[in-house]
Chains A and B, each alone.
Chain A
């Protein structure tokens, strides 16, 4: 009895190497692959940030960021996205404990806040375009609409993905595949919030104060 216990504890200490353990469970492989994709997405955003930083003063006599940006709107957008990231985290907790009601509630709040963010952003763009600040006006505005629009496009895709996931939860329940996809979705949503931190700092706050 004692010996058996000792043997057991020894084997727990000495972990098998990766080749002995075999491939990792699918949940880990899927999430790790999606993490690699997210990092490549962030590299793409880095290129857009770099081109924006290069072109920010190339206004061609047109409006500058300080004249165009409304900090109140940006603050509300930031709060929406940050809180939706939080509710997305709570939703993934509900998914892990297979709590249907909590999942739907978390998804609903996440979707509502994401949609509010998107509405504010579209209204901001429409307002700028109505005042003649179109992407064609200057290199600065081309870079601005590319960077912020690309982020907005990601948010739009995330919202569509969230709706699809809720349909899958309703139809298929919490099967393994649906859980993997929900894990990838929460990774995607948190990564979008990290990109937005860069956007509101580099584009809006530095554009207004520097």
Chain B
């Protein structure tokens, strides 16, 4: 009766009744290790092969890395979609939002600045000079 169910701590192993049907924990870690090894090997292969279209290599590597991070989160850190893991997932989602904003924002803004700093070809310069002299 006093059996209160709390959220699960991140990285913690599910309680006994919750994993009555689930595979043993050692098996979970082993599956995670094997999948991660396959993804890592694929990443190294993609970076070195000449079979793939060179323009797609970067995207392929990014997809493989994100997949492997997901595998690590699920199999090693035990982040799940279960109701007892909601707080952990929400914190992770907020962290990922900040990571996304920082990375894409920095790359985008600095690339834009870079273009504006380096671009002035003689034409653009002349146009600006002319506009200024008309004012």
Given known A21-B6, A46-B103, A54-B110, contact A197–B91 (CB-CB < 8 A)? no
Cα of A30 to Cα of B6 in the assembled complex, Å: 14
Is A39 in contact with chain B by the CB < 8 A criterion? yes
Given known A54-B107, A86-B29, A205-B61, contact A27–B12 (CB-CB < 8 A)? yes
Cα of A63 to Cα of B68 in the assembled complex, Å: 30
A-B contact count (CB 8 A): 150
Chain B residues near A32: list those with CB within 8 A.
Answer: 7, 9-10, 87-88, 91
A18-47 CB mask vs B (1 if < 8 Å, else 0) is 000100110110111011100110110011
Cα of A11 to Cα of B40 in the assembled complex, Å: 48
Q: Which of B77, B110, B111 contacts A190 (CB 8 A)?
A: B77
Cα of A138 to Cα of B87 in the assembled complex, Å: 43
Is B119 in contact with chain A by the CB < 8 A criterion? no
Establish whether residues B11 and A197, one from each chain, have CB atoms under 8 Å apart when the complex forms: no
Cα of A163 to Cα of B79 in the assembled complex, Å: 27
Establish whether residues B32 and A86, one from each chain, have CB atoms under 8 Å apart when the complex forms: yes
Given known A21-B6, A27-B12, contact A206–B61 (CB-CB < 8 A)? yes
**Which candidate, A89-97, A110-118, A124-132, is the interface stretch facing chain B?**
A89-97
Give B residues with C-beta under 8 Å from A: 1, 3-13, 25-26, 29-30, 32-33, 36-37, 40, 43-44, 46-48, 54, 57-58, 61-62, 64-65, 68-69, 72-73, 76-77, 87-88, 91-92, 94-95, 98-99, 102-103, 105-107, 110-111
Please list the 7 inter-chain residue pairs (A to B) with the smallest Cβ-Cβ separation, ordered nearest first. Answer: A31-B9, A39-B95, A50-B106, A201-B65, A205-B47, A46-B99, A89-B29
